[in-house]
């Protein structure tokens, strides 16, 4: 396992970090194989709360799957792998309890942008100490859904959110607050890289 201790200060200061080539090509091939199999075999059996579509009549508009680990042992194992747990423990400086694996897709030409939000608003943890590990299956840039962060915004606690009317992201940070929080950064990443945010 890599030494991630040098990233702890950056994570504490900015609230997010970027790790290039976090997953090997072989690991990514394995992950994608299980994701595709999950979509083919398990998604058709899931409720509209667990598998969300931009248009439920069009299979290609699958947008989000929650709790993959409940239905497929591979994802439960993935969550508990030392490379994920060890990294999380370094960044949070505490023991961690892996929670859930999710799949997100941004079908082209349909749907709304993801609203600015804090995952902690949805998690409702007390204390609100958690992180999200995000691994792209495709290269991501401004054209196809790069993530944006506001440096240091995690230090402001959970901010007021309001209804966004976006499927899968029902709440977004109230307008007017985002510009007060700090510098916005666009993270362009490649398949197998890793973004971690508080």
Closest alpha carbon to 112 in 151, 69, 61, 65: 61
37-52: pLDDT as tens digits = 999 999 999 998 899 9
The DSSP element (H or E) to which 68 belongs, if any, is helix 68-71
Q: What are the pLDDT tens digits along the chain (198 aa)? A: 566 668 889 999 999 999 999 999 999 999 999 999 999 999 999 998 899 998 888 888 999 999 999 999 999 999 999 999 999 999 999 999 999 999 999 877 787 778 887 888 788 788 888 999 999 999 999 888 889 999 998 888 888 888 888 877 777 787 655 556 778 899 999 999 999 999
Question: What is the DSSP annotation of 22-63?
Answer: -S-HHHHHHHHHHHHHHHHHTGGGS-TTTEEESSTT-GGGEE
Q: Going by DSSP bridges, is the β-strand pair 132-134/194-197 parallel, antiparallel, or unpaired?
A: antiparallel
> ∠ CA 162-165-170 to the nearest 5 degrees?
60
Phi, psi values for residue 160, rounded to 5°: -65, 135
- pLDDT at position 127 is 85
68-91: pLDDT as tens digits = 999 999 999 999 999 999 999 999
């Amino acid at each position: 396992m890599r030494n991630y201790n040098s990233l702890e200060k950056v994570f504490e200061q900015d609230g997010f970090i970027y790790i290039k080539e976090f997953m090997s090509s072989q690991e990514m091939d394995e992950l994608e194989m299980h994701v595709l199999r999950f979509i083919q075999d398990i998604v058709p059996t899931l409720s509209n709360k667990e598998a969300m579509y931009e248009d439920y009549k069009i299979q290609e508009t699958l947008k989000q799957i929650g709790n993959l680990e409940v239905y497929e042992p591979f994802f439960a194992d993935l969550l508990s792998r030392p490379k994920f747990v060890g990294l999380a423990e370094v960044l949070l400086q505490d023991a961690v309890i892996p929670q859930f694996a999710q799949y997100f897709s941004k079908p082209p030409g349909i749907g709304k942008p993801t609203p600015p939000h804090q995952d902690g608003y949805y998690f409702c943890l007390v204390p609100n100490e958690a992180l999200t590990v995000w691994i792209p299956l495709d290269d991501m840039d401004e054209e196809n859904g790069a993530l944006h962060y506001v440096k240091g915004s995690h230090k402001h606690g959970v901010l007021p959110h309001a209804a966004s009317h976006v499927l899968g992201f029902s709440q977004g940070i109230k307008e007017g607050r985002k510009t007060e929080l700090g510098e916005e950064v666009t993270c362009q990443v490649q398949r197998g890289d890793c973004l971690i945010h508080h």
